[in-house]
Amino acid sequence: MHLRFSRGVVTIAVIVLVLAVAISFGLYQLLKRAKPLAVQEPYCTVRTADDQQLNLDIEQAQISATIAAVAARRKLPERAVVIAYATALQESKLYNVSYGDRDSVGVFQQRESQGWGTKKQIMDPVYSTNKFFAALKKVKGYRKMPIAEAAQAVQRSAAGYAYAPHETEARILAAAFTGRVPRAVHCWYPPEAGATRTPKAQTREARRQLARAIGSTAVTSDKRGWLIAAWSVAHAQKYDLRQVAYSGATWTNDMEVIGWQKGGKAGAKEVELA
């Protein structure tokens, strides 16, 4: 049996085929020229002097910066910061979680039933970090004992050995967020389209929250300046900061710019926020 089509049907079929090809080609060209539809997630990177790198998300960077700032306020050595990071990496992966084993919550998984404070207090990273360091200072010889042992002496965990594998990462974070290694923290976040900014109010609030963790925001040393700069970059998304400048270097929230660039006042004794 042979099917026969009229000339009109064949003509319509050819026209439909041509239109389909033309539309497909047009869509291809538009998609090729358009910007990617997927928006990249906010991120942070930490680089050390010997070019080691850690990737963090924004919350992890903020928690890391807070721990370093509280340690600076308490005038604690970098080793105490390493111990705190190793603990937090194991307990919460540097997140401020509202759940855990039994009534454990927060960055260090502290328990209300064991006297660490109320759940609301423990969920405040500044408060919980202060409580952790207060307990660490009571550990005799913590500056010389292995990192994992010092962490276990504070936490009294059922698996104290679990802190040891985090020591390398903890040392990288401590070098960056204490300010010992300058220009070590870089973050990026997508600015909100159409967002109304009030830069002065935003920078005032950022400095107020920094002061809550570190005390005085005065730059009394180059290391402290870089600590404040790292804290500011880590909290840039939260306070809608677009630029942080210190000591002749500037961080900008620009996807095309990776890391700190030369710029700003050389030898400045203040971290500038914008």
Distance CA 88, CA 112 (A): 17
3-state DSSP percent of the chain in helix, strand and coil, to 5 = 50, 10, 40
Structural domain contains residue 17: no
Q: What does the DSSP assignment read for 61-99?
A: HHHHHHHHHHHHHTT--HHHHHHHHHHHHHHHSS---S-
Looking at beta carbons, which pairs linking 191-197 to residues 24 or more positions away fall under 8 Å?
191/240, 191/242, 191/253, 195/240, 197/240
Structural domain contains residue 25: no
pLDDT at 191: 86
pLDDT at 262: 93
Structural domain contains residue 111: yes
Structural domain contains residue 15: no
Contact residues for 118 (Cβ-Cβ < 8 A; gap 6+): 112
Structural domain contains residue 8: no
Sort strands 185-188 and 243-246 into parallel, antiparallel or unpaired.
Answer: unpaired
pLDDT at 36: 45
In the 8-state DSSP scheme, what is residue 139? S
Strand partners, 55: 45
Taking only Cα atoms into account, the Rg of the chain, rounded to an integer number of angstroms, comes to 26
Structural domain contains residue 76: yes
User: Which range of residues forms the domain containing residue 122?
Assistant: 43-273
Structural domain contains residue 126: yes
Structural domain contains residue 78: yes
Total number of domains constituting the chain: 1
Distance CA 40, CA 190 (A): 8
pLDDT at 10: 47
pLDDT at 28: 47
- Positions of the chain with pLDDT lower than 50, given as ranges: 1-3, 5, 9-10, 18, 28, 30-32, 34-37
| pLDDT tens per residue across span 203-253 | 999 999 999 999 999 999 999 999 999 999 999 999 999 999 999 999 999
